[in-house]
Amino acid sequence: MIRIREEGLPKVNDCIIIPVKKQNIQSMNEALTKLFSYITSDGIPETPDIDFERDLQFFISQKYLSKKINSLASRFPELLVDYDPSLNDNLSPYNIAAFSNNPVNWRCNICHSIWSAIVSSRTLGGNGCAVCSGHRVVSGKNDLEYKRPDVAKLWDYEKNKSLTPRDITCGNPDKHWWKCPFCGESWEAVTYSLTRPGSSLRCEKCSKKYAGANRRKNYVESGHSIEDTHPWVAKQWHPTKNGELKPRDISIGYDKPIYWICCDCGETFESIPYVVKKKKSMTCKSCSTKRAHSRPNSKL
Ligand SMILES: [Zn+2]
Ligand SMILES: [Zn+2]
Ligand SMILES: [Zn+2]
């Protein structure tokens, strides 16, 4: 390396020094001629015509051009959305070296938080806003309560002690305690697993139940409802006493009692569908008994 240095500056090792006198054009011209005498052996045929005074503007413009080309603004225009000169003593991003190790202030274009980071940590390291990436929690910006109030609502304040949903982000990888909105029990789960899209917000037991209910629903809907498999049973279904439940909603294996209308007397009676189907008679108890008694006679 060859350096042109003013006389009287501290010594620098490991390079060739060409000394110049301070603010002396003649000395500068001599130094440049000397510089070219060093490098002409490397393919430059002869010493070019140099007049420092005449070419000063050109040298300065070249210096600024090179600075501009390698600036933050030229090399990483995509980062300028986060750069505001007013936060940096009005320093233009064209005057910041793209890989500088100096810190500058940034303002996130998404969450508007301001932070300080070394230029190269963004241009080389690829780091961004800590709030947006979830590394830093800012209440009212990226905390769980703000971002996912539906999940924060399940927070078990008692078991999580002093920690609140305002202290963690949606991407938090730790286990915390939650209160199941279905059974009221407390259960432990990784926060991130609850904030993922499609995650079921209930305890494991209720999740299993829900999965079972879903499976049953799919089974019934795929041609296994009472209406599909046992239409004669469905005909005796009580129209009002079973609430919202209809013969197309359950299978014949349904294990809770249902209201039916007796086909003999028209009275209402209660029975599990499977029992009704097994008996093959859609009659109430007393009519069943009557039928049983009259059976020998009816055979005659
Ligand atoms: Zn941000
Ligand atoms: Zn539950
Ligand atoms: Zn009856």
Find the 187 Cα to ligand 2 centroid distance in Å.
8
| Cβ–Cβ under 8 Å, residues 261 and 233 | no
Closest ligand to 264 CA?
Answer: 3
How much distance in Å is there from the Cα of 86 to the middle of ligand 1?
18
| Identity of residue 39 | I
- Please identify which residue in the block is written with the tokens 């209720």: 206
pLDDT of residue 206: 93
User: pLDDT tier at 246 (50, 70, 90 boundaries)?
Assistant: very high
The residue-averaged pLDDT of 165-172 equals 91
- How far, in Å, is the centroid of ligand 2 from the Cα of 277? 34
Q: From the CA of 209, which ligand is nearest? A: 2
Does the pLDDT at position 281 exceed 70? no
**Ligand closest in space to the Cα of 114:** 1
Output DSSP code: residue 222: I
Measured in Å, residue 195 CA sits from the centre of ligand 1 at 19
User: How confident is the model over 198-243, as pLDDT tens digits?
Assistant: 888 999 999 998 888 888 899 999 999 999 998 888 989 999 999 9
pLDDT tens per residue across span 60-104: 888 788 888 999 999 999 999 999 999 999 999 999 999 999 999
pLDDT of amino acid 121: 94
What is the model's pLDDT at position 88? 96
Ion ligand 3: residues, CB within 5 A, are 262, 264-265, 267, 283-284, 287
Instruction: Note the ligand closest to the C-alpha atom of 182.
Output: 2
State how far the Cα of 167 lies from the Cα of 70, in Å rounded to an integer: 41
Average pLDDT of every residue of the chain: 88
pLDDT at 28: 83
Question: Does this model's pTM top 0.85?
Answer: no
**Structure confidence at residue 41 (pLDDT):** 61
pLDDT tier, 300 (very low <50, low <70, confident <90, very high otherwise) = very low
Alpha carbon of 247 to ligand 3 centroid (Å): 20
d(CA 253, CA 264): 24
Find the range with the poorest average confidence among 2-16, 145-159, 170-184. 2-16
Query: Contact 54/25 with Cβ under 8 angstroms?
Result: no
Which ligand approaches the C-alpha of residue 127 most closely? 1
Which residue, among 193, 255, 102, has the nearest Cα to 91 in the 3D structure? 102
User: For residues 174 and 164, is the Cβ–Cβ distance under 8 A?
Assistant: no
Q: Quote the pLDDT of residue 70.
A: 92
Asked if pLDDT for residue 45 goes beyond 80, the answer is no
* Average pLDDT over every residue of 104-129: 92
In this prediction, residue 93 carries a pLDDT of 95
Instruction: Report the separation in Å between the CA atom of 66 and the middle of ligand 1, taken as the mean of its atom positions.
Output: 32
- Give the confidence band of 299 by pLDDT, cuts at 50, 70, 90: very low
